[in-house]
Structure formats: structure tokens, C-alpha cells
Chain A
Amino acid sequence: MDLSYTPEQQAFRAEVRAWLEAHVPAEPLEHFDATRGGFEAHREWERTLKSGDWGMVTWPKEYGGRGLDLIEWLIFEEEYYRAGAPGRVNQNGIFLLGPTLIEFGTPEQKQRFLPPMASGEEIWAQAWSEPQAGSDLAGVRATAVRDGDEYVLNGHKIWSSRAVFADWAFGLFREPGTERHKGMSLIFFPLDAPGVTVNAIRKINGHVGFAEIFLEDVRVPAFNRLGDEGQGWHICMATAGFERGLMLRSPARYQVAAAALAGLWQDHKQDADPVLEADVVRAFMNADAYALSIYQTASRLMAGAKIGPEASTNKIFWSELDIHLHQTALSILGPKAELVVQPGEHDWLDDYIFALAGPIYAGSNEIQRNIIAERMLGLPR
């Protein structure tokens, strides 16, 4: 164990910090789920990031990345959140599909899809869940029928984040007649293809962040299938590993919030319930523990290990710490907690509402606990 940064890592941090200080917009952007304008402003930010070669630092250089390792990725993320840079509108692409493409894609697929993903030219949504296939994802009914060099896609997808404004989706489809985990394939389709209808679903904060997607005889080239035909479940689980394990929620996100919470406490402790200080300390501990755990995971992966079922512990931990942290903030605010803030103010309330989604998306925490119990602890199904 060596918990010091190398001079190269220190220099890298300084380089990231300097670039972000020069480029992060002075005014926060409108939320990317709120309006088309907010979404496009975030796409523009992705282009700016790409102009500095910061689109996705861990990817190979030939696909728009910098070929950096996971410790450097963590340093980048720390500086990114420290700088208050805009949210990553293409997170489903760069953090989930991207690593999966790098693992399972052909060289031609990587060349076609990764560079425009890294630059924000093509923004991705996930099309896995269906009205009858949520936690039980193997219940997917949408179909892909092979017709020469094409697939014909049909079905009904739902809870697709950002699909209202996004350009592409990666969906889970099955060969008709197959059951459960067999016969599924992961296939990409443009959200403006003929036969695709996207309807917005409002979230509890009023934003049109979700969508349902109807597919009627949508034709896509077979080139758009990731991995082998019928390998879809296996690939989805690898994606879910990235999602739960490492990429989706960087520790920096919670460390920024915990530091802000400590500031909120200092400003309000004269009037607030003194017992809340223990919760402020607890929020800091949790964020720090999550960061240390991810440093540990990153080190293990760099030493050749693979992400396993322990990824499920991460998802539970960050989603629960996020709720606790924001509940503490609202408790400190007291009777003012329910008030909608002015633009530019720290929006603890909206962040709290967002945190409530954490135990649901990316596989509900109940499912994660089943995975831990069955695959880590070996309890019977």
C-alpha cells in the first residue's frame, strides 16, 4: 500500500485543475433533463471538454480518450467535481456503454461509435426496462428479428433517462420464441429512426428526464449488435458491473456534497438542532469511505482483478449515503427546507429528490441485496 500520489499524478491533477478553471462555465447550465436548451448547452460543454481532450480520459487514444489509468480517472473526477463542472449529459454512453463497447465491440464498432460518444456528437440513452421487465430484466419481451443484414426491432421500452433529447439508444431485445436469459442481444438504434416513437415521462421533480420508447418495425443494420447474437444478457451484466461498480457515481460527487454540508452546518448551527452535527460528521465519513473503497477497487482492477458481485455493495452504499446526506441538509434548513431556491443557490431540495431515485435505478437496492446474498455470501436462491 502506498497512499501517495506520484509526481506525474500530482502534475496531472494540476493540469486538469488549470484547464477546468479556464473553461468551466461561470454560470451553472440549465439542467439537461429540464429543457431542450439545457440539454444542448450540456452537449456544447461536452464539445468543449473534447476540445481539451477530456471527453473520456480512460479510453484508448484512437477512440477519443487519453489512455489513462483508473487512478488518473479518479483524480480527473475529483477535480471535475471540485470545479463544479456541468453534469455529464452523455453518462449512459461514456460511463456504461463505452466501457462495454471497449470490452465487447469489434474494432469497426469502436471506431464508429466511441469518438462521437466522447465528443458529445452522439448522446446515448439506455433502453433496457419494459413495463413488464424492471427488476426482473430477463423478462424483456421486445424482439429483434434477423432479416438479411438487418434486424427488425419491435417492442415497448420505458424509464429511459434522457431519451427525449438523446440521439441513440442501446436496447435489450430477444429473438422471438426464446425465454429468460437466453436469446437476447444488445442492439443500438437511432432514436429518430422510422418506427421509433419517444414519449416523455415527467419525474417527481417535474423534469422530463424519463421516456418510454415504442418501436414498430424499426430496421437497423446487424452491425449495430454488440457481441454475439444471444450474448445480450452476458453483456448487459458486464455493463451493470460498470454501472454499479465504479463509473456511474464517482466518490467526488458525494465528497463535494459532504463538504458543502459541513459549510451549511457551520452557517446554521446557531439555530439548528445540535444532534445534527453527528449526522454531518457521518455524511463526511460515508463519502470518505466510499472514496477509499473506490481507490481500493481501482487499485485491484489495475492489478488485474475483475469487477465482481461486490459492485452491488457500492450501489447500495452510495445511494443510501446520498439520501442520508441530503436529509441532514434539509433537517439543518428546518422550516425553510421545503422552499424552492433561487437560481444559483445550492439546491439541497432538488438534490434530495434526485437522491431518492438512487435506491431504484441501476437495479433496485433490493435486487442488489439479493445479488450480495447469493453471489458474495452463497445463500440459496
Chain B
Amino acid sequence: MDFTLSDEQQMFAETARTLLGDTCTPDHWRKMMERGDNTDPERWAAIVENGFTLVLLPEEAGGMGLGELDFALIAEEAGYVALPEPLIESAGVAAPMLGALAPAHPLLADPEATIALAHPLNPVVADADRAAAILLERDGHAFLARADQVRLTPAQTIDPLRRLFRVEWDAADAEDLGPADWDLALDRAALFAAAQGLGLAQRAVDMAVDYAKERQQFGKPIGSYQAVKHHLASAQVAIEFARPVVRAAAAEIGHRDVQARSRVSHAKIAALEAADKATRASIQVHGAMGYSWEVDAHLFLKRTLALTQSWGTPAFHRARIAARLFTQPAGPDQTFARETHAAAATREIIHA
């Protein structure tokens, strides 16, 4: 039993933090919003060069074959910079699905290419127009189509750094890849949304802390007042008790049982609630400035809003936790429930 990250994982997270922090600054957000775009070719090239798009791709498909925990660390850093590019959807969800279905697919040979995924739970698809292909669902099968083989309608979102599309398509125009693991795609997407939520939340708190140290009212920095402190402390508490859930969910996702699904759902709810609390506290602490377009706090609020409701609503995820709670044993020996069951099974074998 060890709940710590390995040295390699810590270094990996550090690399992601530095790269994304340097290439996705408030200045970059401003420029992209002015251009009405969400892609920065230089940044994407750096992301690709560092191998972030290959982390979860199976080795037989040319990837690194690492685990969800490794990718979740990248997703957390992506949240911290409100990353506009579809790194998480493409490299965290869609490409691994394609890699599992068709490891030799030529699309996977181009690490710069993104793949979009239309999950039945989501009404829209991010960056579908620029994706090399879109994965689509019908009767449990995955179909693959290029953007010019489907009908895309832009769907305006309040998040100025996301580009969304509704997709209409005919199975006759798409390549049938056979039955696909849509549940795993959902689990991964929900997990990485949770990880992004941690980053969004921490950035919102950090921005508010910086502001509260500088902004003076009644002759003192507003951060010296307890009313301000307590908003931010409460948000930090929410983050601290979401993070271990996200980490455990990432480590356990491969078990594919009711406990693992429940934990992913818990991670999604807890991390995005932390992000909701933190982003709203951040806007409040920034005062009227926080309500202005000029201060970046709103970007984090909007991304939080988007991620909270996509990849399964809070009600959807709560139902999955309820399924675990009301059908499986609960209690202090059930934190890592399948462990306890394994031990009981071993004892029964010994006694038999």
C-alpha cells in the first residue's frame, strides 16, 4: 500500500507544469480570444514533442503505454492553464480507443493529428472540424469518419477557448471499427475532467491569493481580512479532499468494477465541485474586477461549468456511486474493497 507518486511521475508532472505554464500564459489566452481561435501551433508542437499525446496510446500503436495516473497528472496541469487545445479528449480518450480497436491504423502514425470523439452522453464534440477523424457511436460500435464525411454545425459555447460542434452522420459514410469500449472512454474522460478540475480550482485560488495580497482596502491588503481568507481556505479544503480521490480513481480505473466506476464518479463530482467553489470564490475575492472580462477568473469558471456537465452530469455520476453504496458492502475495511474481497477469498481457500 503506497499512495505516493513515483519519482518519474513527479518529474513528468513537473515537465507538464513547466511546458504548459510557459506556453499557455494569460497573454496567450488574450491573443487567442482576440483571434477567435483556440489553437497555437507552436504550443501544440511542443506538447507533441514532449510525448504528451503518446502517454496512453498502447505500445503496439506506437504509444508509451503508460497508465491513466500518468495522464491524469498532465490533465491536472492542463486544467491549471485552461488549455484550449483538445489534448485531453484526443490523447486521453479518443486515440487510446482507436489504438485499442485498430493499433495499426494510419491515423495513429501522425502524433500531431488529433482525433475527436462523439460520446452518446455529450451533445457536442470539441474541435471536430480540425480532427483528423471523429470516433462516433452506433449500437455500441465505433465508427470512424473524417470531418468532410459528416455534417458539422458549430455550437457556440460560453467558454471562449473551446470550439464545439454538433455532428450529424450516416453510417454508410463511416468506417465501422466494430464493438468498442464506450464505458472505458467515459471513465477516462470523466477521470481526466476531474483531474482538470483540480488544476482549474488551484489556479482560481492562486489567482485570488495573488490579488488579495496586492489589493488594498481600509489601508490593508484585503487578504488580511478573515472573510476573504476563509473563502479561499474553504476552496483549498475542497481541493485537498478531491485530489486523493482523483489519484485513487486513476490508479484503480483498470479494474473496471463497480468500485472503480464509483470512484471515478466520486472524483468527477468532488473535483468539479472544488473547481466550482474555487472559481466562484476567486471571482468574489476579485470583486468588481472579477466580474470583468479583463480578469481571467471567468475563464476558469466557464471551463468548470463546461466540464461539470459533460462526460456525465453530476446526477449521472451520483447514481453510479449509489449503485456501489447500495449493492456492495460499505465500511472502514471497504476503502479498497476488492482488496478485502481478495483476502476473504484467500482465507476461504485456506480453510477449505
Question: Which residues in window 219-253 of B have CB below 8 A to A?
Answer: 220-221, 223-224, 226, 228-230, 232-234, 236-237, 240-245, 247-248, 251-252
Q: Which of A79, A290, A293, A379 counts the most B-chain CB atoms under 10 A from its CB?
A: A379
Is the C-beta of B331 less than 8 angstroms from some C-beta in chain A? yes
- Give the shortest distance, in Å, between A293 (CB) and chain B (any CB): 5
Q: Which of A2, A9, A77 counts the most B-chain CB atoms under 10 A from its CB?
A: A2
- Please determine whether A278 and B318 come into contact, CB atoms closer than 8 angstroms: yes
- Please determine whether B245 and A1 come into contact, CB atoms closer than 8 angstroms: no
Is the C-beta of B3 less than 8 angstroms from some C-beta in chain A? yes
Q: Given that A13-B343, A379-B229 are contacting pairs, would A1 and B237 also be in contact in the complex, using a CB cutoff of 8 Å?
A: no
**Alpha-carbon distance A320/B233, docked complex (angstroms):** 14
Of the candidates B233, B251, B330, B331, the one whose C-beta lies within 8 Å of that of A369 is: B233
Q: Given that A284-B321, A285-B321 are contacting pairs, would A376 and B236 also be in contact in the complex, using a CB cutoff of 8 Å?
A: yes
- Please determine whether B347 and A256 come into contact, CB atoms closer than 8 angstroms: no
- Please determine whether A369 and B234 come into contact, CB atoms closer than 8 angstroms: yes
Q: Given that A14-B343, A78-B333, A288-B266 are contacting pairs, would A369 and B3 also be in contact in the complex, using a CB cutoff of 8 Å?
A: no
Is the C-beta of B292 less than 8 angstroms from some C-beta in chain A? no
Name which residue of chain A comes closest to B210, CB basis: A378
- Please determine whether B266 and A255 come into contact, CB atoms closer than 8 angstroms: no
- Give the shortest distance, in Å, between A134 (CB) and chain B (any CB): 16
Is the C-beta of B194 less than 8 angstroms from some C-beta in chain A? no
Is the C-beta of A373 less than 8 angstroms from some C-beta in chain B? yes
- Please determine whether A372 and B233 come into contact, CB atoms closer than 8 angstroms: yes
Q: Which residues of chain B have C-beta atoms less than 8 A from A77's C-beta?
A: 332
Name which residue of chain B comes closest to A379, CB basis: B223
Q: Which residues of chain A have C-beta atoms less than 8 A from B240's C-beta?
A: 293, 310, 313, 317
- Please determine whether A3 and B251 come into contact, CB atoms closer than 8 angstroms: yes
Q: Which residues of chain A have C-beta atoms less than 8 A from B334's C-beta?
A: 255, 259
**Alpha-carbon distance A256/B329, docked complex (angstroms):** 11
- Please determine whether A379 and B1 come into contact, CB atoms closer than 8 angstroms: no
Is the C-beta of B11 less than 8 angstroms from some C-beta in chain A? no
Is the C-beta of B212 less than 8 angstroms from some C-beta in chain A? yes
Q: Given that A78-B332, A281-B322, A295-B244 are contacting pairs, would A366 and B213 also be in contact in the complex, using a CB cutoff of 8 Å?
A: no
Q: Could you tell me how many residues of chain B have their Cβ less than 8 Å away from some Cβ of chain A? A: 56
- Give the shortest distance, in Å, between A269 (CB) and chain B (any CB): 10
Q: Given that A1-B2, A292-B244 are contacting pairs, would A313 and B321 also be in contact in the complex, using a CB cutoff of 8 Å?
A: no
- Please determine whether B248 and A3 come into contact, CB atoms closer than 8 angstroms: yes
Is the C-beta of B299 less than 8 angstroms from some C-beta in chain A? no
Q: Write the residues of chain B forming the contact surface with A, with a CB cutoff of 8 angstroms.
A: 1-6, 69, 205, 209, 212-213, 220-221, 223-224, 226, 228-230, 232-234, 236-237, 240-245, 247-248, 251-252, 263, 266, 269-270, 318, 321-322, 325-326, 329-336, 339, 342-343, 346-347
Q: Write the residues of chain A forming the contact surface with B, with a CB cutoff of 8 angstroms.
A: 1-6, 9-10, 13-14, 71, 77-79, 81-82, 251-252, 255-256, 258-259, 262, 266, 277-278, 280-281, 284-286, 288-293, 295-296, 298-300, 303, 310, 313, 316-317, 366, 368-370, 372-374, 376-381
User: Can you offer 12 A-B residue contacts whose CB atoms are under 8 A?
Assistant: A1-B251, A9-B1, A71-B1, A290-B241, A369-B233, A370-B229, A372-B236, A372-B237, A373-B230, A377-B209, A378-B209, A378-B213
